[in-house]
Amino acid sequence: MEESSAVTVDAVDGSDAPERSEVEGFTLQRRLIRLGYLLINRRDADLHAHGLTASQSGTLLYFASHPGSSCRDLSAKMEVTHQAVQKTMSKLRDRGLLETRVCAGDAREREVFATAAGERMARELEGNGTDAGRVAFSRLTSDERRRLADMVDRMVAALEDVDALEDSGTTASDDSMKPVRC
């Protein structure tokens, strides 16, 4: 007899679902999306209180933790255009949260740094994010958090593998992740 590919999880959506139910991929995906929405809404409320957008927050946090990096570094990491990073950085510079300096090795390049005010705001954002994570994961043991982190990493890797295959013009079969030419 074949093993079921379903995962058993507790019902968390407040529905009339049984206390424990088998969850197929689509239903579990919907629950993960709901969790994502809850986390995003909490984050957005915090960012609104700081007068930031999500992209501004990401940009500030990046340069606070990678001082001296360039726009090119961030645009490659976030997979966005150089122009999008420039626009976001301009707003953060206008608010006194970022500053640029000419690169000592190449006068054409600019290094980006968080100002003292930017550093303070980055610490506040990280602290609030840590608090949100603490609330979200408060009902999990440290072992469950480690297992969840491992599962999330594997899920992200699987999706990135599929994306890479699609970008290269190949596709994954249902039975394996081996590339197959279309």
The overall pTM is greater than 0.85:
no
Nearest to 46 by CA among 148, 151, 138, 133: 133
Check residue 169 and give its pLDDT: 72
Residue spans of the domains in the chain: they are 1-50, 52-139, 140-182
Query: Contact at 8 Å (CB) between 92 and 99?
Result: no
d(CA 168, CA 147): 31
**Cβ neighbours of residue 58 closer than 8 Å, sequence gap 6 or more:** 78
Say how far residue 35 (Cα) sits from the centre of its chain.
13
Check residue 103 and give its pLDDT: 86
Check residue 151 and give its pLDDT: 94
Q: Please give the single-letter amino acid code of residue 24.
A: E
Check residue 15 and give its pLDDT: 54
**Cβ neighbours of residue 62 closer than 8 Å, sequence gap 6 or more:** 69, 74, 77, 78
d(CA 124, CA 119): 9
Q: What is the pLDDT along the chain (182 residues), one digit of tens a residue?
A: 434 444 444 444 555 554 445 567 788 889 999 999 998 898 888 889 899 998 999 999 999 999 999 999 999 888 889 899 999 999 999 999 999 999 888 888 899 999 999 999 999 999 888 788 888 889 999 999 999 999 999 999 998 888 777 777 765 544 444 433 32
Candidates 1.10.10.10, 1.10.10.60, 1.10.3720.10, 1.10.287.80; CATH matching 52-139? 1.10.10.10
